[in-house]
Copies of this chain bind each other. A is one copy, B any other.
């Protein structure tokens, strides 16, 4: 029986991509004026124009595929993004999952802040006793679930039945593919930036994934990313 591991991080790796700021400009030029942007300054102006005036389709002709390792509760939120996202996730019907479970790291804010409101969920650090209690509670529950899973599998029970006891804190993996526009929409909802036009309050773990994707996005599309930030972090 594999040994249980605990983990607090999420991992997002860029697997493949195609497209860049120049490609955005070429797509936009099909729609409007003939000549492609001749230089970076002109391209930057065009990209700003497109983002500012919400011409979104030129940002759809690109692709980034990420390999994501995160707990199921992150994937549950992620899969609610239906448009411009494609997913291939590890199936608990077809393979035995691995015993890797999420526990909050020491820096994870654990408790609702004073004056907590559902519309603006903000959290504060816990003290050592809180962390101690959580670590104990999580590990106990995870170990119990994993043991039940293994007992059932040892009895010959189908994977699809036995998995019912596995917590949403277990890690899973997926390929997730987006285009720049659908990625920007994700970032607008799954990152917290006080100066955004619409301030979002995502759960920390999906925000962590979003930040890793945003770093890759900013590297691949520096002009688009700059315009995204300039105009309120909204998808065009």
Query: Contact at A203–B73, with CB atoms within 8 Å?
Result: no
- The digit string for A11-31, where 1 denotes a CB below 8 A from any CB of B, is 000011111000100111011
Query: Contact at B71–A164, with CB atoms within 8 Å?
Result: yes
Measured in the bound complex, the distance between the Cα atoms of B83 and A57 in whole Å is 13
A123-169 at interface with B (beta carbon < 8 Å): 123, 126, 130, 133-134, 137-138, 140-142, 144-145, 147-149, 151-152, 155-158, 160-161, 163-169
For chain A, which range describes its interface: under 10, 10 to 19, 20 to 34, or 35 or more residues?
A: 35 or more
Q: Which of A36-44, A104-112, A213-221 lies at the interface?
A: A104-112
Q: In the complex, what's the smallest C-beta–C-beta distance from A146 to chain B, in angstroms?
A: 9
Inter-chain contacts of A2 with B (CB < 8 A): none
A86-B60, A87-B80, A88-B57 are contacts. A163–B73 as well, Cβ < 8 Å? yes
A206-233 at interface with B (beta carbon < 8 Å): none
A72: interface (CB < 8 Å)? yes
Task: Report whether over half of chain A's contact residues are helix, strand or loop; otherwise say mixed.
Answer: mixed
Q: Kindly identify which residue among B31, B53, B173 contacts A89, using a CB–CB cutoff of 8 Å.
A: B31
Query: Contact at A164–B73, with CB atoms within 8 Å?
Result: yes
| Copies of this protein chain in the complex | 4
Measured in the bound complex, the distance between the Cα atoms of B56 and A200 in whole Å is 13
Query: Contact at B177–A168, with CB atoms within 8 Å?
Result: no
Query: Contact at B94–A118, with CB atoms within 8 Å?
Result: yes
Q: Kindly identify which residue among B19, B62, B157, B164 contacts A169, using a CB–CB cutoff of 8 Å.
A: B164
Measured in the bound complex, the distance between the Cα atoms of B78 and A160 in whole Å is 15
A10: interface (CB < 8 Å)? no
Query: Contact at A157–B126, with CB atoms within 8 Å?
Result: yes
Q: Kindly identify which residue among B94, B108, B137, B177 contacts A61, using a CB–CB cutoff of 8 Å.
A: B177
Could you list 21 examples of A-B contacts with CB < 8 Å? A30-B67, A30-B88, A30-B174, A32-B90, A32-B91, A57-B87, A58-B88, A61-B86, A61-B88, A72-B76, A73-B163, A94-B118, A104-B161, A126-B157, A133-B152, A134-B152, A137-B151, A137-B165, A140-B144, A165-B167, A197-B197
Given A31-B94, A167-B167, 4 extra CB contacts under 8 A: A31-B88, A71-B164, A93-B121, A126-B157
5 nearest A-B residue pairs (beta carbon): A164-B169, A60-B86, A144-B144, A141-B148, A82-B82
